[in-house]
Amino acid sequence: MDREELSNRLYDRMAGELAAFRESLLKMSPAEILNHTYEYTVREDILILMDSMELKTAQIVALLESPCPLADVFKEFRNMETGYMDVLRECMENRANEVLQARREASRAVPLYQHDSRYAREHNELDVFRASYRANIACKEAIEAAIREGFDGMRLAPDAAKDVLAEFGPERVACVLAATLRDMEYDERFSRDNVAWAKTVPMYDDQDRRLNYCVRSHPAKLDDFIAVARKEIAQMVEKESQRRPSIRDRLAAKPVQGGKPSEKAAHSGRDGR
């Protein structure tokens, strides 16, 4: 018997096993069927793979020696399931990162509205104002989550503010943190340096509205977060300024209207004769 005939024989035996397994499942209660759904799916995938892969003749003969080769392959797979779980873990992390990236892009697309509600109403910009206000609240919640996750019981992680800044941008993060400090500047657990910094950040909402996006984390932890965030913001501003061309460079790159100065002077000299 050649390799192809042996392969067909092995496939038929495995297909018969799958059919028998399916019939046994159909006799079970719905709850019992659910318990075996994963096993049935894997067995089905094994059969699909068997139809497409090319085993060596000796391998086929070895599998045919078993009265239930499909079940044997499934047991082997189950013993190696850690690899499958690693794949699932990677898929989960990738999907979560995609969602986070999309959310960051959406959040950064909402500009910080730099006027109060009255101005927005008078200029028919309430939709923009409300979108910015909702983003402020989301930023506040993200800061609270970052503090919870970044605090190890003793200190805050040095990169605790990184993801929040990436998602909401330095301007909005500074606004939310400054609004919080202005509301709680009486609390001596905040450093005077942070409190002084907060007074330099422009505020656009009235105090009652700002209360809705004030961070309510523990003041000592929040003070550490503000210090970390301020450092990150300063670095971001510095990088941005380095990317911008200087005034001298912009003037040098700007074309001179009417030709080069030397050419104009030359023409002027000839005309004056």
Domains of the chain: which residue ranges?
3-79, 110-246
Read off the tokens for 192.
């005077």
pLDDT given at position 208 = 87
pLDDT given at position 246 = 60
pLDDT given at position 273 = 43
* Residues 174/203, Cβ–Cβ less than 8 Å: no
Read off the tokens for 8.
């067909």
DSSP string, 184-242: STT-TTS-HHHHHHHTTS---S-HHHHGGG---S-HHHHHHHHHHHHHHHHHHHHHHHH
Number of neighbours of residue 103 by Cβ within 10 angstroms: 14
Q: Dihedrals φ, ψ of 105, to 5°?
A: -65, -40
Q: How far is CA 154 from the centre of its chain?
A: 27
* Residues 147/217, Cβ–Cβ less than 8 Å: yes
pLDDT given at position 263 = 46
> Rounded to two decimals, what is the model's pTM?
0.60
> What distance in Å separates the CA atoms of residue 234 and residue 239, rounded to the nearest whole number?
9
Output the CA–CA distances (angstroms, integers) from residue 161 to 39, 145, 202, 270, in the order listed. Answer: 44, 10, 21, 66
Low-confidence stretches of the chain (pLDDT < 50) are 259-273
Read off the tokens for 162.
């990184």
Task: Give the gyration radius of the chain's Cα atoms.
Answer: 34
pLDDT given at position 77 = 86
pLDDT given at position 107 = 77
Q: How far is CA 198 from the centre of its chain?
A: 28
Question: Which DSSP symbol is given to 246?
Answer: P
> What distance in Å separates the CA atoms of residue 125 and residue 128, rounded to the nearest whole number?
5
